[in-house]
Every structure is written in structure tokens, then in C-alpha cells.
Amino acid sequence: MEVKTSLLDNMIGVGDMVLIEPLSEDTFIENLKKRFDHNEIYTYIGSVVISMNPYKSLPIYTAEKVEEYRNRNFYELSPHIYALADEAYRSLRDQDKDQCILITGESGAGKTEASKFVMSYVAAVCGKGQEVNKVKEQLLQSNPVLEAFGNAKTVRNDNSSRFGKYMDIEFDFKGDPLGGVISNYLLEKSRVVKQPRGERNFHIFYQLLSGASDDTLKKLKLDRDFSKYNYLSLDSATVNGLDDAASFRTVRNAMQIVGFMEDEVQSVLELVAAVLKLGNIEFKPDDGCHISAPVCSGVLVCSVHFNYHSYHLFHGFSFIFLFLQDNSFEQFIINYCNEKLQQIFIELTLREEQEEYIREVSNSHLCLLFASFYQSFPFRAVIVGTETILKVIYVADFIIVVILNPTTVYHNAENYFSGLLIHLSTILVYICPLHVFCCLTVYHSLLNVVYVVMAPPTAGFQFRASVGTLMKNLLTKNPNYIRCIKPNDKKAAHIFTDSLVCHQARYLGLMENVRVRRAGYAFRQPYEPCLERYKMLCKQTWPHWKGPAREGVEVLLKNLQVPAEEFAFGRSKIFIRNPRMLFFLEEKRRQCLEDLATLIQKIYRGWKCRTHFLLLKKSQVVVAAWYRRFAQQKKYQNIRSSALVVQSFIRGWKVRRDYRKFFRANAGKKIYDFTIQRIMQKYFMGLKKTMPSMSPVDKSWPARPYGFLDGMHQDLRRIFHLWRCKKYRSQFTEEKKATYEEKLAASELFKDKKALYPSSVGQPFKGDYVEITKNPKYQKLNSLVEDKVLLADVVSKINRANGKVRTLSSVIFLLTKKSFVLADQKTGQVKASVPLLDLSSVSVSTQSDGFFALKLKEGSTSAAKGDFLLSSDRLIEIITKLHRIGAASADRNQINIDISDEFLVQFKQDKVCVKFIQGTPKNGNGVACKRKNNRLLEVSVPSP
């Protein structure tokens, strides 16, 4: 039987808030807290995902998790953001339904991270290919660019998004991404000129100053000192925990991936630099403007060109800056957009519930119920007129005041509304000055991008158009919701503030969403998984139901005597009205599983006992058979021994009879010759059966049966050994003969002298270990060596620099009849070439290490850089070949081999004593070098 996991299995608290019992605000918050304490940060409200920010990394976003949630039913596994992403992606791919995922929540709730998880999941499960991977990489790399120019550190969030983002991704019929369009909404522009205490400006300003190269900053005429720029908050800079330098490199790379040309990147950086410098400009009505910070002196003309001849232009520019610093219009439209999103969330949720009931149950009573519920649902959206007069909008128990002309109304607003304070608990005032165009100020800018971005439509017009487009988009797509909640204001893990979470749950309308789901039927599930989960509760459906799944569910519920008013049958789903009914089924299932477990244990124990009995019975039969065989063998041996005794007595009697018959006819000599003949025949036959192996190193030889054969026995042994040696030598080729000569030379040099030698006996001497003649990487290196390469291997080179001993990268060691060469392993470039005439001796230790020192003759040309201290696992072969080259050459002396645990090595001008000791290196089983002082290098070798 296939066992499937479920949302209800091993559940901490309640995984779906629709099933919480009893339903109240306290039980709602308590359930969130219980799951949060157990690192269960995701909870469902039907198909809506509630996401709690854990403020720590959790191991729930691995590749294994992606595969676990891939192509699975939404309620099949425990709540996860991957389940929603998979549901949306499969609906898009398989049913051709446009999808939208709406992620909402306040600053620090985890909206940005949630969007990254959704995108990374879709990127992981969609198709592969060069073009597809390129599109996926561009979509993923758009995040660092948007965050650099739109995110900032606030008191609530180190990476707070100060704008809304709508990403539209287009997929082909296979479900592979073709491209995407990203729209941003409601950027908090006022943060550029003023930040609250403890907060930062947008990331890009700090990233540019911290991560750009000195050459780039010089071209932009900027300084890394944050204190020289009025637009950067010193308080926030001192508490910054972000790695701005690394982030800048990431942003530059991401801009290239998403398609920015190099000149466009440079233009953007120049514009950012210009904005930084604008903060250091002071405006005065009498003499134009001047630059207040010395760092900007003579720099402004490189970024923005001003006309100093128009007084009104400076006045307008100053007014715009006042507008950016003091107005609350941005906050007003942000709140307005949030209310619109809340409205569309409620509307689409009700519509989705209503459509499902119409599609599944066709119950007009439920449709009317939801229609009336929708009319009574609280709605707080505000619409503001465009007239330049004061507007008052009453909402619930507070009032919103919108001031569109601050010069005429703002100073009288307090007196105007003082009478309303008696009746209303809250007055929200938004100051919205009229738009003053500043495009003429930058019309003559040297940068085209400045002209493009500084002459947009008004903020109100942009807001109205963009929000209208957003709402239109959302209404045409199948919605999916992620509601992000921050558990505390301290940005700390393991802290759950009930009041804060309760406040967010209220304004996100989560309780209302639960009530909408529970207004009709609290739980619904397709017939197939429902029958699969509860089929063991009925004998007719267990273990397999042969008919349609719906009929199986009907039989199951009828057998359990569930009241008809507690459920309803849809076209494809079973609808359960009360959560208590679901928990009743779960309790019955738990009890049934316990009974089934007991039954399985009983059957298993019976099977185990029967198997054990049959094994004992089989063993008894085998033992009896072996005993009977042993008894018959013993009886046979007794009979055979008795027969041999009788035969020997008969043969003895016949021999004695023949002896007496032939004794007088020279029978003694004949008997003697016959006996000797039989003895020799028996000796040679026995020798033939006990001959040793054909290996020349086999010293065994059969024992002689008689003392008088001793001389002949030894001669035969010597003759046999010479013969098998000749047979062994006849098999040798010239190449194999040379190899064994090298092995013999190695034995003479290192046997019983070097602990590394025994492990090298069984290893053949190949010579070329890097295939220098075949590998095209080393073709140039091979051509530089004039003589035939006798040995080519990768060794480690030990150098001394700045008074310290350090291990460099591995090098290639080449050995010819005239010289040895050290070359770079990656490039094949020759680092050193030393004639063997300049080599005086070789020093090695007695231990099992691979260190060896090539000591050069004093005064030789090669000795200028000092001796060579190398390490190789093939030390025996390298030094043997060096020694044989010297022995075979007539124009040079034989190279001395010094085997000692302490020797001197010349490093340029210094002599260092290399001392080998037995110990336990830090890496456990390797050889470790440690500098004790400037004159001593201690090598720790593992004890044998």
C-alpha cells in the first residue's frame, strides 16, 4: 500500500486556519505562535499562505525540498511557500490560466524574501536550455538591481523595499520562461533628501562609495567619506551591517546580466553621483546657488549644467526640494494603494469561494449568503478629488484630511478641524502641494538619462495610472496570496509579540478570510485523496475500492453514520461543514491505524515464529544427515584399516616364502637392486609431486626421505633453481629488464634505510605520469626540452619568502639525462632548468615522507636562487633515476644520496635546517611543515 503524507499528519497546531476550533482571535494568534515556536513559519487559510518572518535561516529551501513539493497536491504536504508556487506554475503550464501571486505585509515581514523563494522555485522546476537559463538568470538578477535603487535600511528592516514591484513573466506552451517585464510603484523619493534617525538612504549611494574602485570614484569626483555628503545619514552609516562593497560588485554584475550596456551603467553611476552632490548645494535668492561642501568644488558642471542667470528658476528648484522634504503625499498614496489591494484581496477571495460553490455544489443559498457577507465587509479605501481645495473624507471613527494647496489652507487647518476632535479619535492630515515643474532646470544637462528621468508626469497622475493598470491586471488573472507577518519589532529570532501579530492579522483581514471559508463548508478535498486517506474506516472500501471514488466516499460516510447535514457532495470534491467532523474522522483513522499496526505486528510475529521453527527443522535434518555420513565414513575407515592389515600380513607371508625359496640362488643381490630401484622410483615420484613454484624467490624444497640421498638431493635443488631462473629470464623484454634493474638499484639505495621504500616495491616505475608527449597542454613544454624525458611528474615545491616557509602550488618535475626542469602545472611555463652537472647531492629522511632536497654546487650558476626542497609520493623512483644517470655518465661524478633525519637546505642567502620528527599532524594523516624559527623547519611525520 502506498503511504502518502498529508497536511494533517504530524501536525503542529493547525496547519489550515479554517480547521481551528473554536475560532476566535485568541486561538488564531495562539496557533500562529505555537507553529512559530516549532519553526513552522507557514500556515494556510484555505489556499492563502501566511508567512511568518523567522529572522534566521531555516533548512527548508533546499533542492530536496523543491523535488518534494514538485507536482504534488496543494494540501498533500505540510504548508510551504513552494506548495503555492507549484500550484500556480502547474495551473499556468497545464491549464493555460494566467496567474498572479500577491505578496503583502508591512516592512520587515519578509515580502522581498518570499518573492525570491517563489522565483527560485519556478526557475528550478521549469525547463532547461541555454536560452531558457539565460532568461531565468536575467529574471533572478533583476532583484539585486531593483533592491539597490529601491531598498533602504530602516529601523524595522535592514533591506526594506521602499517601492511596490509588479513582475510580469511570460511562459511558452512548455512552461519555459520567455521573458519578463517589471513595473515599480510608489517609490519613496523623499528618502533621497531626508532619512529618519537610525535609517539609511537607498543602498546604491552607500554601495557606490564603498565598493567602486578608486579609479571610478576619481572619474565621478567622489570621496569614500560618508560625512561629506548631506544626503547620507551618519547615524545609519555607523550601524550599517551590510557588506556594501560586495553588494556593489553584485549589482554591477547583475546590471550586465539583465542587459545594461557599459555606457548605460556609467551614465547611471554618474547620475547617482550627481544626486549625492546636489545635497551639498545651498540656494540663496540674492546670488543664485553655491556649493557648501569642499568635496564638490568644481564638480557640479560634470553632472548637471545650470543657467545662473534666472532667479525664478532657482526659486522653483528650491521649492521642489522643500516639497520632497516636508510633504506626506507619498505616504498618503501608499496607504491608499494598500487599501485598494486589501479591497481586491477581499473581492477576489469572495469571488473565488463563490465560484467554487457554484461550480461544485450549485447552491444558490450559499451564493446569496456570500453576497450579503460581501456587502457587510469593512472597506476603507479613499478616493481624493483633483481640485486644489481642502477635502475631508470620513472613514469609520477617524478622519482623513487632504490639503492640496499648503499656501492657503495649511496654516488654518488646525483651527478648522479643532471642533471635530471632540467627536473623532484620530485625524490623519496629508499635505499635498501643487506640482512645480523642474524639468527646465536639467534640460541642458550633459547626461541624457538625467533629462529622461527628471521630466516625468506628476506623481498623482503616475500613481493613478499605475494603480489602475495594476488593479486591471490583477482582476484578469487567477490570484494566489501570500500574507507576510513580522513576529516582533526587534528583528530577532525566537520572539513572538502577540499584540503586534494581532494588529497585523486585523488589518490584513485574516480572521475575515477564515470566516469567509467557514461561512459555508470549512473543509473540502477531492474524492480520490479523501478515499485514500479514510478507506480503512470501512470494510467495503478497505483495502481497495473498485468503483468511482465518489461512490466510495458515499459508502464510507454512510457506514460511519455521519449526519447528512455535515457534508455535501460536489462534482469533484467532498465538502465538510464543521471542523469537528474532520477531527472525528482523523481520530477514527488514528484508532484504526493503531488496530492495523497491532494486526501487522501479530502477523509479523507469527511469520517470524514459523520461519524460526522451519529453520530449526531444516537445521535438524542437516545435522542428522551430516552425523549419518560421519558414522558411515568412520565405519568405512575401520573396515579399510582392517583390510590393509590383513593384506600386509599376506604380502609379508608371501615375501618370506619367496625369500626362503630364492635365498640360496643369489637372491640377496637381486633383492637389494630391486629395493634400491623401488626406493629411487618412489623418491623421484614423490619429488615430482612436491616440486616448488617457478618463482625464483621461492626458497622451499621438499625434504629428503633417506640420508644417503643428501648429495644428490642438494644437486637436484641447485639444478632446478638454475633452470627456473633461466626460464624466468627468458620472459624478460629489454624494457622490463631495464625496469627491474632500476628496482634493483632502488633496493641497493633505500632498502632498510628509508621507511617509504617497502610501499614502492609493488609500484611500477612508469616515468611519464603526466603524458607530456600526448597532452596538448604541455606540447610547448615538451618542445623546449631537448633530450628525452626520463621522468615527468607533479611535485610540491617548498619555498622560503619573507622569513617564512610556505608551500606553493604544485609544479611539474621533468628529468632528462642532462638536466631537471621545474614548470608551472597550469600554463606549462618553465620556472627553473638546472643542469645535472650543477647538482652535488640529494638529501632525504629515513621516515615515510616524500621530502627530498636537491642541493646545488656552491658557485654554480644555478645555485644563485638556492637549493630545491620538493615533496613527491614517487621519491624512490625520482632519486633512483637521478643516481643511475650519474652512474652511467662518464663526464660527471655520481650523485651522492644523503639519508638523514636532519639536513641543511640553502634558501638564497639563508641556510635552514630541515628536521624530521614523528608526531600527529593537524590534518590527521598527512605530513605537516612548521617553522620553529628562521633557521629551523620542522616536519611532522605520522608514526608508523
Whether 869 contacts 738, CB under 8 Å: no
Angle (CA) 803 804 810, round 5°: 130
Q: What pLDDT sits at residue 431?
A: 42
Q: What pLDDT sits at residue 622?
A: 92
Q: Is 46 annotated as belonging to a binding site?
A: no
Residue at 375: amino acid letter:
Q
Q: Is 682 annotated as belonging to a binding site?
A: no
Name which residue leads in pLDDT, 796 or 566.
796
Q: What pLDDT sits at residue 1?
A: 36
DSSP string, 431-480: E-PPP---GGGGTT-S-HHHHHHTS---HHHHHHHHHHHHHHHHHTSEEE
Q: Is 110 annotated as belonging to a binding site?
A: yes
- For the CA atoms of 529, 531, 537, 539, what is the dihedral angle to 10 degrees? -140
Q: Which helix (H) or strand (E) holds 747?
A: helix 734-750
Q: What pLDDT sits at residue 407?
A: 40
Q: Which of 124-133, 259-268, 776-785 bottoms out in mean pLDDT, i.e. has the lowest?
A: 124-133
C-alpha cell at 261: 550596456
* pLDDT tens sequence across 388-404: 333 333 333 333 444 44
Quick check: 482 pLDDT over 70? Answer: yes
pLDDT band at 528 (very low <50, low <70, confident <90, very high): confident
Quick check: 551 pLDDT over 90? Answer: no
Q: What pLDDT sits at residue 718?
A: 92
Quick check: 639 pLDDT over 90? Answer: yes
Mean pLDDT of the chain: 77
Q: Which of 51-55, 309-313, 713-717 bottoms out in mean pLDDT, i.e. has the lowest?
A: 309-313
C-alpha cell at 154: 530602516
Quick check: 719 pLDDT over 70? Answer: yes
pLDDT band at 502 (very low <50, low <70, confident <90, very high): very high
Annotated domain spans of the chain: 340-439, 525-600, 680-731, 735-941
* pLDDT tens sequence across 245-291: 888 999 999 999 888 899 899 989 998 998 888 888 775 555 544 55
Question: Residue 818: which of 893, 886, 897, 745 has the closest Cα?
Answer: 886
Strand 811-815 relative to strand 819-824, pairing: antiparallel
* pLDDT tens sequence across 396-439: 333 344 444 444 333 444 443 333 333 533 334 444 443 333 44
CA distances from 845 to 653, 885, 901 (A): 76, 22, 5
Q: What pLDDT sits at residue 634?
A: 93
Q: Is 866 annotated as belonging to a binding site?
A: no
Distance of CA 584 to the CA centre of its chain: 42
Whether 31 contacts 510, CB under 8 Å: no
Quick check: 450 pLDDT over 80? Answer: no
pTM exceeds 0.85 for this model: no
Exposed e or buried b for every residue in 735-748, given b needs 16+ CB within 10 A? eeeebeebbebbee
Q: Is 106 annotated as belonging to a binding site?
A: yes
Q: How far apart are CA 517 and CA 349, in angstroms?
A: 9
* pLDDT tens sequence across 675-710: 888 888 888 888 888 889 888 888 889 888 888 888
Q: What pLDDT sits at residue 429?
A: 43
Q: How far apart are CA 443 and CA 440, in angstroms?
A: 5
Q: What pLDDT sits at residue 8?
A: 66
What is the average pLDDT across 345-364? 68
Whether 151 contacts 160, CB under 8 Å: yes
pLDDT band at 93 (very low <50, low <70, confident <90, very high): confident
Q: What pLDDT sits at residue 309?
A: 29
Helices (H), 41-129: 63-69, 81-95, 111-125
- Considering only the top CATH level, what class is 735-941? mainly beta
pLDDT band at 665 (very low <50, low <70, confident <90, very high): low
Q: What pLDDT sits at residue 722?
A: 92
DSSP letter assigned to residue 577: S
What is the average pLDDT across 105-112? 83
Quick check: 794 pLDDT over 80? Answer: yes
Q: Which of 337-346, 377-386, 616-625 bottoms out in mean pLDDT, i.e. has the lowest?
A: 377-386
DSSP letter assigned to residue 397: T
pLDDT band at 537 (very low <50, low <70, confident <90, very high): confident
Whether 838 contacts 862, CB under 8 Å: yes
Highest mean pLDDT among 503-517, 628-642, 691-705: 628-642
Strand 478-485 relative to strand 48-52, pairing: parallel
Q: What pLDDT sits at residue 388?
A: 31
Quick check: 31 pLDDT over 60? Answer: yes
Q: How far apart are CA 78 and CA 72, in angstroms?
A: 11
What is the average pLDDT across 197-205? 89
Q: What pLDDT sits at residue 313?
A: 29
What residues pair up with 170 in beta bridges, in sequence order? Answer: 179
Question: Residue 331: which of 402, 380, 387, 393 has the closest Cα?
Answer: 402
What is the average pLDDT across 62-91? 88
Quick check: 909 pLDDT over 50? Answer: yes
* pLDDT tens sequence across 870-901: 999 899 999 999 988 877 666 667 788 999 99
What is the average pLDDT across 735-756? 87
Q: Is 108 annotated as belonging to a binding site?
A: yes
Three-state secondary-structure class, residue 542: coil
pLDDT band at 787 (very low <50, low <70, confident <90, very high): confident
What is the average pLDDT across 798-802? 68
Q: What pLDDT sits at residue 302?
A: 27
Helices (H), 454-569: 459-475, 498-507, 510-519, 527-534, 549-559
Q: What pLDDT sits at residue 853?
A: 92
414 burial class (0-12, 13-18, 19+ CB within 10 angstroms)?
exposed
Highest mean pLDDT among 355-369, 471-485, 487-501, 645-659: 487-501
Name which residue leads in pLDDT, 233 or 290.
233
C-alpha cell at 474: 490583477
What is the average pLDDT across 651-658? 85
Q: In percent, how much of the chain has pLDDT > 90?
A: 20
Fold of the domain spanning 525-600: Alpha-Beta Plaits (3.30.70)
Quick check: 96 pLDDT over 90? Answer: no
Q: What pLDDT sits at residue 410?
A: 37
Quick check: 830 pLDDT over 70? Answer: yes
Name which residue leads in pLDDT, 5 or 860.
860
